[in-house]
Amino acid sequence: MNRLITPAPVRKSVLVRAPAARAFEVFTAGMGRWWPKSHHIGAAEPEAHVIEPRAGGRWFERGADGVECDIGKVLTWSPPTLLVLAWQLNAQFKYDPALVTEVEVRFLPQSDATTRVELEHRHLERLGESAETLRGAIDAPNGWTALLELFARAASQ
């Protein structure tokens, strides 16, 4: 019997010691400064992480070997408050152009010098039977939690 797989979205947040515009810039244009080298999908160590600054833009990594590996694309580009990315990686972290889960990142100013960044990775049910596997990986301590901590440190400098 098939059962409906509906894992809850993964939701994380972090307080960043930076204005929203800087936090948005570091998250997007500065992703290569904080995304760990260990988190890559290409064969070679990543040299760059790129989010093209427009709706429809690519989200990809470029390896030291020059090979570009797609991660997804930009669904919503609304600096400095909202970014929605299509995450097109399956539970084995392989690119699947037919798959789209979403990573929504909101940059909520708390003061002139601090921003609350809220991330929601949703539509995981689109992975079918492997939905819980991916959810477990991205909700693990070295998943979005660790990534947001690295981002917060980079944005606060």
Supply the angle between the helices 146-156 and 20-28 in degrees, to the nearest 10. Answer: 120
- For position 3, what pLDDT does the model report? 57
Q: Considering the entire predicted model, what is its pTM?
A: 0.94
What is the rounded distance in angstroms from the CA atom of residue 89 to the CA atom of residue 111? 35
Over its length of 157 residues, how does the chain's per-residue pLDDT go in tens digits? 455 668 999 999 999 999 999 999 999 999 999 999 889 999 999 999 999 999 999 999 999 999 999 999 999 999 999 999 999 999 999 999 999 999 999 999 999 999 999 999 999 999 999 999 999 999 999 999 999 999 999 999 8
Q: Which of 122, 28, 32 lies closest to 83, judged by CA?
A: 28
